[in-house]
Structure 1
Amino acid sequence: MSDKKPSGVHGAPRGRRDVELGKRGELRAHQFLQSATEVFLEKGYRNARLADIVARAGGSLATLYRVFGDKEGLVHAIMDESIRSFGEGLDLLRDPALPPEQALYAATERMVTEILSPARIVCHRIVIADGLDFPALRDWFFDHGIAPVEERLTEYFARGKESGRLILESPRIAADRFYMMVFGGTILRSLNGTVSAADIGLVQAQTREAVSIFLRGVLPRRDLTADEG
């Protein structure tokens, strides 16, 4: 997380182009994205070639250009899908009936599943490991994939503070600390291959424990006592 706010300066994603595709074309587009994800994981974004992706997916280079434009268009499409999937976890925080100890557990379980997905690992490797070499991709992902998460978490913690459900000074600082505490280690380990989607059960248990530790610092004492009981 960072102090950056969504600026919009990097514009809309250059991913999937607005072209009409039949059923077969949609299947081919999906195969291109799946194969691109695999190739990016194996070779890295810099060394991946469109020819490698087409050879694995089938179809033609002309079709790939028509649907995605180029390699950058492919990775933008991968990022865009991952951002939407990650946001589905945040959607669980919208239910005002759920207390924080239920809402945060449910949301983070969904979010960490996406963090361990091949698509998200590709995104993180590009923006974290190769961010200096590909600043436009890095900044677009931070503007559209990270900053909005921080804003939504900040809004959630602000509502919790206002309602008295959470005791904290700064919702924005709480959002930043929550994200790094709950997801930071998993992101780093997924980058170096220490954990993957095959370890989802263990990672979800670790995530739940991290949420529990965070809640001990922000829940009113009466709620914490009841939760422990």
Structure 2
Amino acid sequence: MSKMSAATKASPAKGAGRPRAAEVEARLHDLKRTAGRLFLEKGYGNVSLEMIAREARVAVRTIYIKFGGKNGLLSAMLQDKRAQFFADMDLAKDPRPVREVLDDFAARLYSLLTSPEAVALQRMLAAEARSNPQMVDTFYAMGPNVTRDAIACFLQRPDVRAQLRDDLPVDQLPVHLINCVLGDQLSRVLRGQQEGTPEQCAAARRQRMELFYRSVLR
């Protein structure tokens, strides 16, 4: 037997064995992206796991194993979307001045919640809230609640708390800050209105943030 034929015989068949970690991650990413597209196009309640599996070319069993079902898949999608904007920002440890940290946070949060996908998601939530309460619970658990907890953690840092007025209801500050960041965003989303050009939106957000600082800082 020649050396070439011996080497060929000893080598495993191409493509044999388990897929590499990078391939698995890519498949899961495609699965979440496909599910997100279907949710926004057809409505959360109108999309079945079978439909997602068929479009993503995976087995329904794979979705159950990796995500536990449709709500778990939605939760993972929301985590991924948030990570696109906040993966490199840790409010609990950020050493920058308070205004600089919150201005950065506000810009990221505004960009996240005014992205086309987020706007479509907010409209879907408004349309299906009564018929799919578990979807709404998942959204708030992985979206607004995470945001409020992150803000609360930041404002409770001793170095930050020392810069806030003593007479403030601290537990209300996360919601107050989010409202200042977004303004009447939800109302505009539901009515299909735009706040203005990117420059005008940024200027309006800075004005709202200045109102926040004047109301809470010493």
Query: What's the TM-score, normalizing by structure 1?
Result: 0.66
Q: Distance in 1 between matches of 2:170 and 2:205?
A: 20
Contact 2:78–2:142, Cα closer than 8 Å, also in 1: no
Q: Which moved more, 1:135-144 or 1:211-220?
A: 135-144
Q: Distance in 1 between matches of 2:182 and 2:89?
A: 14
Q: Distance in 2 between matches of 1:55 and 1:108?
A: 39
Deviations 1:114-143 (A, max 9, x none): 223455446544554423222223223334
Match of 1:100 in 2: 98
Match of 2:217 in 1: 219
Deviations 1:71-97 (A, max 9, x none): 33321221232344565486246324x
Q: Distance in 2 between matches of 1:112 and 1:126?
A: 19
Match of 1:37 in 2: 36
Structure 1 vs Structure 2: percent identity of aligned residues? 25
Cα drift, residue 107 of structure 1: 1.0
Q: 1:137 to 1:155 in 2, by over 3 A?
A: same
Q: 1:90 to 1:175 in 2, by over 3 A?
A: farther
Structure 1 residue 178 corresponds to structure 2 residue 174: no
Q: Distance in 2 between matches of 1:194 and 1:28?
A: 36
Q: Which moved more, 1:207-216 or 1:80-89?
A: 80-89
Contact 2:71–2:134, Cα closer than 8 Å, also in 1: no
What secondary structure, in the 3-state scheme, does the structure 1 residue paired with 2:39 have?
helix
Q: 1:47 to 1:178 in 2, by over 3 A?
A: same
Q: Distance in 2 between matches of 1:72 and 1:179?
A: 25
- Using CA pairs under 8 Å that are at least 6 residues apart, name the structure with larger relative contact order, 1 or 2: 1
Cα drift, residue 155 of structure 1: 3.5
1:6-155 superposed matches below 5 A: 22-50=21-49, 53-54=52-53, 56-57=55-56, 59-62=57-60, 64=63, 67-68=66-67, 70-85=69-84, 87-88=86-87, 91-92=90-91, 94-96=93-95, 98-118=96-116, 120-121=118-119, 124-125=122-123, 127-155=125-153
Q: 1:156 to 1:183 in 2, by over 3 A?
A: same
Deviations 1:153-198 (A, max 9, x none): 23333446642x22251111222211123225234434555459xx
Q: Distance in 1 between matches of 2:159 and 2:126?
A: 31
Q: Distance in 2 between matches of 1:88 and 1:106?
A: 13
Q: 1:90 to 1:22 in 2, by over 3 A?
A: closer
What secondary structure, in the 3-state scheme, does the structure 1 residue paired with 2:43 have?
helix
Q: 1:173 to 1:68 in 2, by over 3 A?
A: closer
Q: 1:211 to 1:173 in 2, by over 3 A?
A: same
Superposition CA RMSD, Å: 3.6
Contact 1:33–1:74, Cα closer than 8 Å, also in 2: yes
Cα drift, residue 61 of structure 1: 4.1
Query: What's the TM-score, normalizing by structure 2?
Result: 0.68
Q: 1:48 to 1:192 in 2, by over 3 A?
A: farther
Q: Which has the larger radius of gyration?
A: 2
Gaps of 5+ in 2: 1-17
- Letter matched to residue 179 of structure 2: M
Q: Distance in 1 between matches of 2:217 and 2:133?
A: 39
Gaps of 5+ in 1: 1-18, 221-229
Contact 1:79–1:141, Cα closer than 8 Å, also in 2: yes
